[in-house]
Structures are given as structure tokens and as C-alpha cells.
Copies of this chain bind each other. A is one copy, B any other.
Amino acid sequence: MARPVEFDEDKVLTYAMEQFWREGYEASSVQKLLDCTGINRGTLYNSFGDKDTFFKSCIDQYNKVVDTQIAATLENSKLGPWEAIEAYLDETVLNVTNKRRSMGCLLVNSVCESINYDKEMRKVVRGSLSTMRKGLLARLNEAHKNRKVKKGVSAEFAAEVLMNSLHGIRVNSRDGKTPKQLKELIKFNVASLKK
């Protein structure tokens, strides 16, 4: 009936996501987004809406990556709870450092930009972070039942400790720390929770 869509939506979202990830929301002009995605101005506005909407779609794209990682690690039934958790943490370290430049985490970066004072954005970003927390918590509950969590530490609190540690490495990676250094930090924090 009509001419088919030419651009690859997934690729466009991925390239734009990386732009926002690298430079943040405010510093990512529409022109930069056009340059990095290769699409036309009209196409952007017709197919993705305005900059705010586009940004939210990019956050969703980021969440897809996160969800994939969680599925492969935390929700991997072949792994025991701590194994799964450690796999996820290692995956996260790779994720925050694997680009040419260390870019940290799009969600954390966004929380630290003024973006989080916009009510809707805040909601989206917080929602995504809570997905990670829930994934960790599920495994920590399992570990807790098996008495594999240090005495006196609840699964909920352990999840908070890990989230805090993860936030830390997300910042640290942006500050130039190597994957090796980050992994050692994570390892130490895990050891302090594990029985």
C-alpha cells in the first residue's frame, strides 16, 4: 500500500541511546542525534516524536539491554543464587566500561543530571533501577532461605548494599577506573554479604 519504512528502528534507538549515554540529555542536541543515527530530521519527528519522547524511547532501549542481561544471569535457572548475582555484577562491570570511553550507566547518569526533576522522566528512570533491585532481591531471598547470607543481614538490606555498590562502580567507571579495579570492589562487597 505504501513505501515501507527504511531505517532500522532498533539501530536508530541504539545509536541515539549511546549519544545520550555519553553526553547526557541536555548536551545531546537534535543535530547530534541526527548525525549519530543517520536519519533525517523529518523522520525523527514523524517516527519518534519530540526530543523528550525520543529520550524516553532510548531509556526503554537501554532497559531492553538491561533486561537481557538480567535474564541471562540473575534469572538463569542453571545458576545458584550467588553465582547468578556474581554473573550479573560482572556483566554490569563490562556494560559500564565496554565502550571506547567509559560511559557509566545511562540511568545513573540521568539521575545525576537535572533530568530527574522532570516528573515523568524521573518515574521512568526510577522504574528501571527498581527492575535491577527486584532481580537481585529475588536471588537474595533464595540465598537467604538457603542460609547463604551473612547472619543478621536481610535479603532486602543486602539488595540495597549491592545496589549502592553498583551505583558506586557506575560513577567510578565514568571517572576512569579499569574493569579490573571495579571487579575487585564488587568482589569485596559480595564477600561481605556472603556466607
Contact = CB atoms under 8 A, between A and B. Distances in A.
Interface of A: 22-24, 26-27, 101, 104, 108-109, 111-114, 116-117, 126, 129, 153, 157, 160-161, 163-172, 174-176, 181, 184-185, 188-189, 192
| Identical copies in the complex | 2
Given A161-B185, A164-B168, A165-B168, A174 B27 contact: no
B117 A23 contact: yes
A86 to B, nearest CB: 17
Nearest to A184: B157
30 contacts: A22-B117, A24-B26, A24-B112, A26-B26, A26-B27, A27-B113, A27-B114, A104-B112, A108-B112, A111-B174, A112-B112, A112-B113, A112-B174, A113-B113, A116-B174, A126-B176, A157-B188, A160-B184, A160-B185, A161-B185, A163-B168, A164-B168, A164-B172, A164-B185, A167-B167, A167-B168, A168-B171, A170-B171, A188-B192, A189-B189
Given A111-B175, A112-B108, A168-B167, A160 B181 contact: yes
A189 B23 CA distance: 31
